[in-house]
Chain A
Amino acid sequence: GNSVTQMEGPVTLSEEAFLTINCTYTATGYPSLFWYVQYPGEGLQLLLKATKADDKGSNKGFEATYRKETTSFHLEKGSVQVSDSAVYFCALKKVTGGGNKLTFGTGTQLKVEL
Chain B
Amino acid sequence: EPEVTQTPSHQVTQMGQEVILRCVPISNHLYFYWYRQILGQKVEFLVSFYNNEISEKSEIFDDQFSVERPDGSNFTLKIRSTKLEDSAMYFCASSESSGTYEQYFGPGTRLTVT
Q: Which residues of A contact B (CB under 8 A)?
A: 4, 32, 36, 41-46, 49, 51, 89, 91, 93, 95-107
Contact = CB atoms under 8 A, between A and B. Distances in A.
A100 B31 CA distance: 9
B111 to A, nearest CB: 16
Interface stretch (B71-79, B80-88, B96-104): B96-104
Nearest to B46: A101
Contacts of B6: 43
Interface of B: 3-4, 6, 31, 33, 35, 40-45, 48, 50, 55-56, 58, 91, 93, 95, 98-100, 102-108
Contacts, number: 71
Contact of A101 (B3, B42, B48, B106): B48
Contacts of A32: 100
B100 A43 contact: no
Contact of A89 (B43, B98, B108): B43
